[in-house]
């Protein structure tokens, strides 16, 4: 599966909620997410632009691998995800085989559905407000048209700048090094 995702900093959640409603987007759920990111003993994920995480939500726990970004305009990359029964057991397994916890990112996320896009408003602990728009595609599909459509949705919402290709983990790391 290829995930095409674009994220942008926004001014306020309330303003964006109103704009999403006017656009016709439907709020589908709210959830708390805790993401534990891991560093690999084999490769430097910061250099290869990959990520391995365990995500715990209100109802589910997942292991997610995200491959290197495929272009320089969006976070378009391969994503492999599977459900697991225990974040602690997964963390223990990863640490036993040499992976180490790199950072934990916590956020409250509001999900919206618009056409075939998933839109989220993200209140990430330690960061200003962000919005992500994403679509999933099968491997081999042309993602450039989907990427263009994502930017069109942002434009309809009045967002033409403030786009960010780095992950929330990287944004938090950059705060600590500035």
Q: Which residues pair with 112 in a beta bridge?
A: 27, 119
| Cα Rg of the chain (Å, integer) | 16
Q: Which tens digits make up the pLDDT trace of 92-149?
A: 999 999 999 999 999 999 999 999 999 999 999 999 999 999 998 877 777 788 888 9
The chain-wide mean pLDDT, for the chain, equals: 92
In the chain, at which residue ranges do the beta strands (DSSP E only) sit? Answer: 2-9, 26-39, 51-56, 61-66, 75-83, 100-114, 117-124, 130-137, 163-164
Confidence of residue 166 (pLDDT cuts 50, 70, 90): confident
To the query of whether residue 130 is one of the catalytic residues in this protein, the response is no
Q: Which of 37, 112, 130, 168 is catalytic?
A: 37
Task: Tell me if 172 sits within 8 A of 128, measured CB to CB.
Answer: no
Q: Which tens digits make up the pLDDT trace of 41-64?
A: 999 998 998 999 999 999 999 999
Walk me through the domains of the chain, giving residue ranges and CATH numbers. Answer: 2-177 (2.40.320.10)
Q: How far apart are CA 120 and CA 60, in angstroms?
A: 18
């Amino acid at each position: 599966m290829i995930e095409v995702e674009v994220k942008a900093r926004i001014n306020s959640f309330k303003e964006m909620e109103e704009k999403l409603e006017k656009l016709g987007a439907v709020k589908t759920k709210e959830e708390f997410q805790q993401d534990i990111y891991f560093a690999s003993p084999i490769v430097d994920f910061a250099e290869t632009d990959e990520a391995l995480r365990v995500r715990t939500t209100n109802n589910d726990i997942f292991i997610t691998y995200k491959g290197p970004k495929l272009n320089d305009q969006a976070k378009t990359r391969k994503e492999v995800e599977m459900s697991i029964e225990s974040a602690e057991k997964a963390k223990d397994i990863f640490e036993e085989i040499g992976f180490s916890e790199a950072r934990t990112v916590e956020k409250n996320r509001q999900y919206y559905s618009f056409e075939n896009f998933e839109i989220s408003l993200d209140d990430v602990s330690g960061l200003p407000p962000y919005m992500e728009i994403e679509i999933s595609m099968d491997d081999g599909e042309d993602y450039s048209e989907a990427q263009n459509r994502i930017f069109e949705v942002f434009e309809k919402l009045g967002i033409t700048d403030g786009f960010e290709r780095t992950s929330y983990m990287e944004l938090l790391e950059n705060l600590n090094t500035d």
